[in-house]
Structure 1
Amino acid sequence: MFRPLVRHHHHPKREGGIMRACAHAWKPGLLLLAGLAGLTALTSGCAPVALLGAGAKTASAASEERGLGGFVDDAAIQTALNGKLFTTNEALFSAVDLTVREGRVLMTGSVPRAEDRLTATRLAWEVTDVREVINELTLRDKNDAVDSGRDLVLSNRLQASLLFATDIRSANYTVDVVNGVVYVMGVAQDATERERVLGYARAVPHVRKVVDYTRLKGEPVPAGGPRS
């Protein structure tokens, strides 16, 4: 059983971690990221742990429907788009959470202005190999801090459900929780498995809505125009 990729609105880059500190050095491509990760591990004295974590992530990626090559391509897209967001507007970079699967970019989070939604969409379409842009950014309000804490609780509960589920291939799904809304991306083996995954999400108490961006195995990857 592989650990599902579950994300929530409370994103590490908003807390001043290493991603934010090193954002000015980001460039498209994975060699730079690998170098930064290796350097961080060595200087912190945690190289064995970092190497084990990287190995586990690689093994999990290889088991997904998109394969290791698809995982690497998606990581390159996410790196390039994060770089564009940061160089354009650091506040926008901090506000936007990205999920990338099979060239499909899902943007969640809250931004202060409607123009920021348009800017984020435009930047996403400037990145090579992006097939679809799904803009679920909302306008920020005073309840965001409270919602962020609640989203963390919801995502932890959903993570536990997916982790111990024996009737789905959880490695094929990515889940993002924002303001009580659960966004699901990934590849389902069949319609029955997809309904099981969505059912797990709906069963989490206090989930307001579940948005399905999955596809069935064998279906073509969506490749539409800008969507905002």
Structure 2
Amino acid sequence: MGNMRLMAPKGVGILMAAALALTAGCATTGGSAGAGDAPPAADAAPRKVSDRDLKAAIEKLWDSADDLDSRVRVEVRDGRALLTGRAANADERLLAVRLAWQVDGVAEVINEIGIGDESSLSDKATDAWITAQLRTRLMTDAEISSRNYTIETVNQTIYLMGRGRSSVELERVRNHARNIARVRQVVSHVQVPY
């Protein structure tokens, strides 16, 4: 199901910072700002961009680049962008990666984009079926925290991304993926604690 986050409208953060700065200024005594005053709002830590916003920004850039977003896909987890799908040629693949890196807040770009269109409508249906099968298996396995995993299937290759609780849990996920009919390969970009 994914993580659901409630996001405040963009202007709310600026208004809150301004209100804090005004409040801090009103709390001082003695007229001039002293060393103990709150730092100005400009020194506040930058707001972390949500994965959903990063994904939307990448897709927007791809859409403006000759409708690239119809051929390649992106999933973002913890600022890490997993690129999949099929580019028409090597230049288009490189363009997709370059545009993904242009989005502020992207910490890593994982390029799993193939070249050439090998998939048919039935292949896409098979990919959707494989993803649904794996998602169901993870959700029904009490030893796996399924919400920690993002699944993308392209041409019967399963790409995993997210944060596993342990290497043992990740191996259970991989085994579930390997045992689904028609799966050609399982590629993991899951981070686990040491």
Give TM-score, length-normalised by structure 1: 0.62
Gaps of 5+ in 1: 6-28, 33-68, 220-228
Distance apart, 1:141 and its partner CA: 3.1
CA RMSD after TM alignment: 2.2
Q: Which residue of 1 aligns with 2:171?
A: 195
SS at match of 1:105: strand
Choose 1 or 2 for highest CA Rg: 2
Q: Which residue of 1 aligns with 2:57?
A: 80
Distance 2:74 2:144 in 1: 24
Q: State how many pairs are aligned.
A: 155
Q: Verify the 8 A CA contact 2:135 2:146 in the aligned structure 1.
A: no
The one-character-per-residue Cα deviations of 1:169-220 (angstroms, maximum 9, x if unpaired) are 1001001000010000011111111111111111111110000100114x6x
For the pair 1:171 / 2:147, whether they are aligned, the reply is: yes
Task: Using the aligned pairs only, state the percent identity.
Answer: 34
Q: State the AA in 1 paired with 2:76.
A: V
Distance 1:119 1:160 in 2: 35
Higher fraction of helix: 1
Q: Verify the 8 A CA contact 2:101 2:109 in the aligned structure 1.
A: yes
Give TM-score, length-normalised by structure 2: 0.73
Equivalences for residues 27-42 of structure 1 within 5 A: 31=9
Q: Which residue of 1 aligns with 2:28?
A: none
For the pair 1:159 / 2:129, whether they are aligned, the reply is: no
Distance apart, 1:31 and its partner CA: 4.7
Distance 2:127 2:8 in 1: 30
Distance apart, 1:143 and its partner CA: 4.0
Pair 1:203–1:4, CA change in 2 (3 A) = farther
The one-character-per-residue Cα deviations of 1:151-170 (angstroms, maximum 9, x if unpaired) are 12211211221121111110
Distance apart, 1:129 and its partner CA: 1.3
Q: Which residue of 2 aligns with 1:108?
A: 84
Of 69, 75, 81, the residue aligned with 1:99 is 75
Distance 1:177 1:141 in 2: 15
Distance 1:114 1:144 in 2: 21
Equivalences for residues 9-24 of structure 1 within 5 A: none
Q: Verify the 8 A CA contact 1:186 1:213 in the aligned structure 2.
A: yes
Question: Greater relative contact order: 1 or 2 (C-alpha under 8 angstroms, separation 6 or more)?
Answer: 1
The one-character-per-residue Cα deviations of 1:44-100 (angstroms, maximum 9, x if unpaired) are xxxxxxxxxxxxxxxxxxxxxxxxx97x6211111111111111221x111111110
Distance apart, 1:101 and its partner CA: 0.7
Q: Which residue of 2 aligns with 1:214?
A: 190
